[in-house]
Amino acid sequence: SPDDPEILEQYCDFMEEYLNQGILEAQMEREQRERYIRLLRQKLKVKTTLSTCVRLFQNLMKTGDYVQAEEILGLIRNGIGKRSSGF
């Protein structure tokens, strides 16, 4: 996993586009989506932004991880901007 925030951002953007093309078989899509979720979590550790939280929430919902999705929704509802310079 990339440690450089700029590379991490670019990789996350790539993964999002790749997954949104809808060309992967179900099992492969799940594996790639889980990889994307790990990258988004890593990105949140560097800088918490609304955009990253929304992307993470959407992908957790797509994988059926509703408990984790609700935790991210809680971050959004509690105003992550108050705790970070993300937005």
pLDDT in tens, 21-79: 999 999 999 999 999 999 999 999 999 999 999 999 999 999 999 999 999 999 999 88
CB 60: neighbour CB atoms within 10 A? 22
Cα distance between residue 75 and residue 34, in whole Å:
20
pTM: 0.82
Please list the alpha-helical segments (H only) found in 21-65. 26-46, 50-63
